[in-house]
Amino acid sequence: MPFGKPMVERRLDAKLHLTILTRNESKPDLQGCKTYGATLKAVDYDSVGFIAAALEGIGASVSVLGNQHKEALPIDLAKATKKADVKIYVPSEFGTPSLYSSSRVLGSLVPIL
């Protein structure tokens, strides 16, 4: 989690409530986050419904996906965020080019499906 780790550390330093969605909540890299009060939720990223259930009650979602994921995952995250009624969603592609992007414009905003 090269970009995600510093973001997590800053949020925990600021004593903000943080929920981390992960494929494997027992990953050694994440155990320190639990120590500082973060909630870890294991999710099946192949299921929009499963992701949405994990996002219930969350006010803002910041995606820190790398570029090693299935092509549809960013769209599935956006759909799950909308389904869970999350008010603020910042996709990982905002401001940086994505391997799967057909747009060459950096920071393009698109409506959540």
In this prediction the pTM is 0.70
What is the band of 53 on the pLDDT scale with cuts at 50, 70, 90?
A: very high
The region, left, alpha or beta by phi > 0 then psi within -120 to 50, assigned to residue 37 is left
Phi and psi dihedrals of 70, rounded to 5?
-65, 150
Rounded distance, CA 60 to CA 81, Å?
9
Which pLDDT does position 79 carry in this prediction? 93
Question: Per residue in 3-42, pLDDT tens?
Answer: 566 666 766 666 678 888 988 999 888 888 887 778 899 9
Structural domains of the chain ordered from first start: 4-90 (3.40.50.720)
